[in-house]
Amino acid sequence: MAEKRFLTLADVGEVLNISSSQTYALVRSGELPAIQVGGRGQWRVEAHKLEEYISGAYERTAASIEKSGHQVGDGSRS
């Protein structure tokens, strides 16, 4: 089966491991581009837009870490 072009907000939330309300907030704020389709205006996110969002999140995180001078560790605490 071919990869889906459009994902539901539930699909996006599952990929990002976030709640449906957090996913909806990303879309409503414009941070994650999406379209509304159908008579009920259901939201859909293109798979490549989600990948762009994820790449951008990695870039923003790296810049934030570099700016703060912190280093990413293995998650253990001293």
Q: Kindly tell me if the per-residue pLDDT of 1 is higher than 80.
A: no
Distance separating alpha carbons of residues 54 and 41, to the nearest angstrom: 25
Q: Report which DSSP code applies to 2.
A: P
Give pLDDT tens digits for 11-32.
Answer: 999 999 999 999 999 999 999 9
Supply the DSSP symbol for 52: H
- pLDDT at residue 3 greater than cutoff 90: no
Specify the pTM.
0.80
Model confidence over 27-72: pLDDT tens digits? Answer: 999 999 999 999 999 999 999 999 999 999 999 999 999 988 866 6
Order across the sheet with 42-46: list the strands. 6-8, 42-46, 35-37
